[in-house]
Amino acid sequence: MKAAFLVLTALLLVGCEDTYRYPCQDPANKDKAECNRPDCEADGFCYDKLNGLPEQEAPQQVEESPAPEADCNKPVESTGE
């Protein structure tokens, strides 16, 4: 009886595998864009949040606007002075 229990337990454990409820819980997906901020904040499936790690802030993206170009070929208007 004891041997049958051990064999049955061994057979049941053979069928076990690592599965994750969310793809971003898997450490293999840790560096994917959809698992990192800011892409993951909309659905809440961030790697750090799902795995109980301290939340990391999204890198700040500074949007730089180009300086206006001077038009050197434009004729100077007369002010009448």
Residue 67 lies inside a defined structural domain of this protein:
no
pTM of the full structure = 0.44
**pLDDT for 62:** 62
Q: Are the CB atoms for 35 and 24 separated by under 8 Å?
A: yes
Token pair for residue 23?
């793809």
pLDDT tens digits along 36-71? 888 888 888 888 877 777 777 655 666 777 777 766
Residue 65 lies inside a defined structural domain of this protein:
no
Q: What are phi and psi of 5, to 5 degrees?
A: -65, -45
Domain count, the chain: 1
Residue 23 has pLDDT above 80, yes or no: yes
**pLDDT for 80:** 66
Residue 50 lies inside a defined structural domain of this protein:
yes
